[in-house]
């Protein structure tokens, strides 16, 4: 971890190691408190307010938490304050960045569409992602040899975010369908057809971005190999592409479509975040325990 004591070489090196860690801790704490405020405290205060005023009363803490999470991600991923130039990345920053992208789309959509029912759920998920990234900031990596590597990482993260938004809309779609079958009212909800259309639009965008990420990784990586990470990523791409083909040719919708979406998104989650979790947490602890 980059927060370990700096090598003996002067007070300047030690200060460089402390200040970035303090900035990361402050940004993470602000984001965590903001999301908890929305997810927990606002459940008691906001629900007693008129429906038209509920969303507006959560805007300031959401804006603070969203901005603080971005600052924390920048400080963490950019490797700010590291002795050697490079980036720092891992499973937890990837999940936090994915959640931040999902929240970004939600904040834009919620200005035009009634999506207030998922606000607190997203806040709790974002709080968990921030806490994970704070606890497991990732490993430092030197500058990549290929100039295309940063674009490959950005495209991969963008596809994670797009599929995360698609999963969110699919969950809303399943909930709306269940309420319709039970003949329960869905106040403030989106029409089913609109939810379905948005879901597949995000899936299509995610498949396009993921395709570019995989092509860049294969083309510009000098030692490409079919390890578990790449294999799971390609399998996820095949499942999600198959979903779009099934939708186009056979009109897939409803539970069949969402199952394919969940399966493909799950494979992608395992491809990077899952593999990095095993390497960074499970195997590292096993090695440390064996060494002790």
- Classify residue 4: in a domain, yes or no: no
- Classify residue 6: in a domain, yes or no: no
- Classify residue 190: in a domain, yes or no: yes
Cβ pair 116, 110 in contact under 8 A: yes
Phi and psi, residue 88, nearest 5°: -130, 125
Residues 184-226 have pLDDT tens digits of: 655 455 678 888 999 999 999 999 999 999 998 888 776 667 7
| pTM flag (> 0.75) | yes
- Classify residue 2: in a domain, yes or no: no
pLDDT at 54 over 70: no
CA distance 234 to 217: 12
- Classify residue 3: in a domain, yes or no: no
Domain boundaries, position 170: 11-291
pLDDT at 287 over 50: no
Residue 116 pLDDT? 75
Residue 259: pLDDT band with limits 50, 70, 90: very high
Query: What is the enclosing helix (H) or strand (E) of 139?
Result: strand 139-142
- Classify residue 59: in a domain, yes or no: yes
- Classify residue 226: in a domain, yes or no: yes
- Classify residue 173: in a domain, yes or no: yes
Q: What integer best gives the mean pLDDT of the chain?
A: 80
Number of domain units in the chain: 1
Residues 117-138 have pLDDT tens digits of: 788 899 999 999 999 999 988 7
Residue 182: pLDDT band with limits 50, 70, 90: confident
Residue 21: pLDDT band with limits 50, 70, 90: confident
């Amino acid at each position: 971890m980059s927060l370990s004591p700096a090598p003996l070489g002067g007070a300047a090196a030690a200060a460089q190691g402390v200040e970035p860690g303090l900035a990361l801790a402050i940004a993470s704490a602000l984001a965590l408190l903001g999301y908890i405020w929305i997810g927990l405290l606002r459940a008691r205060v906001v629900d007693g307010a008129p429906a038209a005023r509920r969303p507006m009363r959560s805007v300031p803490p959401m804006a603070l938490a969203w901005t603080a999470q971005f600052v924390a991600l920048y400080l963490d991923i950019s490797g700010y304050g590291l002795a050697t130039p490079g980036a720092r990345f891992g499973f937890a920053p990837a999940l936090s960045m994915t959640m931040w992208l999902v929240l970004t789309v939600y904040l834009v959509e919620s200005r035009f569409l009634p999506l207030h029912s998922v606000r607190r759920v997203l806040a709790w998920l974002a709080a968990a992602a921030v806490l994970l990234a704070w606890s497991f900031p990732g490993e430092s990596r030197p500058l990549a040899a290929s100039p295309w590597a940063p674009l490959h990482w950005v495209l991969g993260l963008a596809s994670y975010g797009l599929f995360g938004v698609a999963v969110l809309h699919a969950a809303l779609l399943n909930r709306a369908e269940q309420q319709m079958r039970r003949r329960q009212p869905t106040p403030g909800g989106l029409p089913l057809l609109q939810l379905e259309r948005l879901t597949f639009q995000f899936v299509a965008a995610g498949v396009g971005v993921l395709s570019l990420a995989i092509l860049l990784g294969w083309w510009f990586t000098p030692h490409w190999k079919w390890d578990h990470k790449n294999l799971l990523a390609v399998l996820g791409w095949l499942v999600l592409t198959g979903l779009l083909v099934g939708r186009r040719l056979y009109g897939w919708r409803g539970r069949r479509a969402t199952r394919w979406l969940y399966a493909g998104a799950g494979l992608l989650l395992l491809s990077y975040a899952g593999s990095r979790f095993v390497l960074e947490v499970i195997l590292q602890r096993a090695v440390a325990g064996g060494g002790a």
